Amino acid sequence: MSLLHWEDRYSVGVAAVDHEHRELIELINRLYAEATTQGSRDAIVDFFGDLFKAISSHFALEERLMRERGYDQLTQHKNDHERLLDELRDIMEDFEANERIDEKMLAGRLDAWFSRHFESHDARLHSALGDH
């Protein structure tokens, strides 16, 4: 079962960025599938590490772009990235402590975050940079 679903309204209008966003959603779905089936604890912890790295490097790329181009909402955008990384850390710590993933937390928090972030911050960023 997939946890998160891509929707057309998430599109920021740049194919390469949409592609990366879809990949992040896919990684979260794979993590969830691993965690709710027979996946071993170590495999899931490793997977969390990979997911965290993939998301951090996507954010780092956007933040570099914003700095290079003097983007006016760098701080707000970066704060929202940090909020997501904090949520992921919470979910990861919760898993390490309880060896289970709270499906509602993962679905509710991450889905809400991703959809809102893609539709607002990322869409604004890419339209401001005019890279269509």
Query: CB within 8 A of 114, min separation 6: which ones?
Result: 4, 10, 21, 24, 25
Query: CB within 8 A of 5, min separation 6: which ones?
Result: 25
Q: What residues between 105 and 124 interact with Fe ion by CB under 5 A? A: 122
Packing angle between helix 41-68 and helix 74-98, nearest 10 degrees? 170
Q: Supply the minimum distance, in Å, between the C-beta of residue 118 and Fe ion.
A: 7
Q: Which two tokens stand for residue 62?
A: 């956007």
| Nearer to Fe ion (CB atom), residue 11 or residue 122 | 122
The reply on whether position 18 binds Fe ion by CB under 5 A is no
Exposed (0-12), middle (13-18) or buried (19+): which is 36, by Cβ within 10 Å? Answer: middle
Q: Supply the minimum distance, in Å, between the C-beta of residue 100 and Fe ion.
A: 29
| Nearer to Fe ion (CB atom), residue 4 or residue 62 | 62
Q: What residues between 72 and 101 interact with Fe ion by CB under 5 A? A: none
Q: Supply the minimum distance, in Å, between the C-beta of residue 84 and Fe ion.
A: 9
Q: Which residue is nearest to Fe ion (CB)?
A: 122
Q: Which two tokens stand for residue 70?
A: 């003097």
Count of residues touching Fe ion (by CB under 5 A) = 2
Binder among 62, 71, 92, 101 for Fe ion (CB under 5 A) = 62
The binding site for Fe ion (CB under 5 A) comprises: 62, 122
